[in-house]
A and B are shown apart, each in its own frame.
Chain A
Amino acid sequence: MQSNSSMRTPLARVRGLGSAKSGTGHFWLQRVTAVANVVLTVIFLGVVISLFGKPYPAAMATLSHPLVAILMLLFVVSGAVHMRIGMQVVIEDYIHGEGLKIAAVMANTFFAIAIGAACVFAVLKLSFGG
């Protein structure tokens, strides 16, 4: 227990979020998505291998299969979250100017969401037969 002279409220101490207001959230989410990505990456590679050299109709039949589509969606979303956190760590390591750092972290978020949205849209369109 901290000394009684601490300026922190008991609630702040319990939340454990610190001044960055996020605590160990990123650390833990990076591990959770990493575990998911191990499984999903193997599945993704399997899907890509099975599509290698296939003509359009056969490739579409595979990609639009519900099971494949769901696993592709999970891979894309888990991957986008993981890469966003990972790149933010790299940015915070190497970019020291406060303004540029905030801009880079924000651009990183936009990139991850844009990539995720494009992939999700494409997989859904294939599945729903657009």
Chain B
Amino acid sequence: MAEVKQAARPLSPHLQIYRWSWTMAMSIAHRVTGCALYAGTVLIAAWLVAAASGPAAFETAQAIAGSILGRLVLFGYSFALLHHMVGGLRHFVWDMGYGYEPETRMNMAKYSVVVSGGLTLLVWILAYALR
């Protein structure tokens, strides 16, 4: 049962065959952002451990996070987090049995970019405004 012998038969079409659509792109984006957040937890853990290690380690972590590259990574991380969150809300709608109509699906996919992008900008405007 474990290993099925591979027969020489044509495979079903994969990504490079299909025409890109919003729903397909956002489905892939949900998985990609999930994987990015997975890797990004290393940074959160490192930042918290640095804070727990004392002032010197925390200042170093803050300096790295505050550098241009650090802020770029943080911006990407915050967008991935909010995009994954909005994508998850879309899945809640589907889990409850709504939003399967073609037009609704397409609109939810498009607006998930708009909403997550807008929320990301809001977070960064707030961060700089409240500093």
- The answer to whether the Cβ of A49 comes within 8 Å of any Cβ in the partner chain is yes
A41 touches B81 (CB 8 A): yes
- The answer to whether the Cβ of A59 comes within 8 Å of any Cβ in the partner chain is yes
- The answer to whether the Cβ of B48 comes within 8 Å of any Cβ in the partner chain is yes
A52 touches B48 (CB 8 A): no
Bound CA span A113–B34, Å: 17
Query: Chain A 63-82, CB within 8 Å of chain B: the 1/0 string?
Result: 10000000010001001100
B95 touches A31 (CB 8 A): yes
B84-131 contacts to A, CB under 8 A, are 85, 88-89, 91-92, 95, 123, 126-128, 130-131
B58 touches A45 (CB 8 A): no
Bound CA span A48–B40, Å: 15
Least CB separation from B47: chain A residue: A122
Least CB separation from B35: chain A residue: A90
- The answer to whether the Cβ of A104 comes within 8 Å of any Cβ in the partner chain is no
User: Chain B nearest CB: distance from A126 CB in Å?
Assistant: 5
Question: Which of these, A34, A79, A98, A130, contacts B92 with CB under 8 Å?
Answer: A34
Chain A residues, CB < 8 A from B81: 41, 45
Total contacting residues, chain A, CB less than 8 A: 34
- The answer to whether the Cβ of B11 comes within 8 Å of any Cβ in the partner chain is no
Question: Which of these, B34, B45, B49, B123, contacts A86 with CB under 8 Å?
Answer: B34
Least CB separation from B125: chain A residue: A49
- The answer to whether the Cβ of A38 comes within 8 Å of any Cβ in the partner chain is yes
Least CB separation from A75: chain B residue: B44
Least CB separation from B45: chain A residue: A118
B130 touches A38 (CB 8 A): no
Bound CA span A90–B1, Å: 22
Q: Can you report 13 residue pairs joining A to B where beta carbons are below 8 Å apart?
A: A35-B92, A37-B85, A38-B88, A48-B127, A49-B127, A59-B51, A72-B48, A83-B41, A115-B41, A115-B42, A118-B45, A119-B41, A126-B51
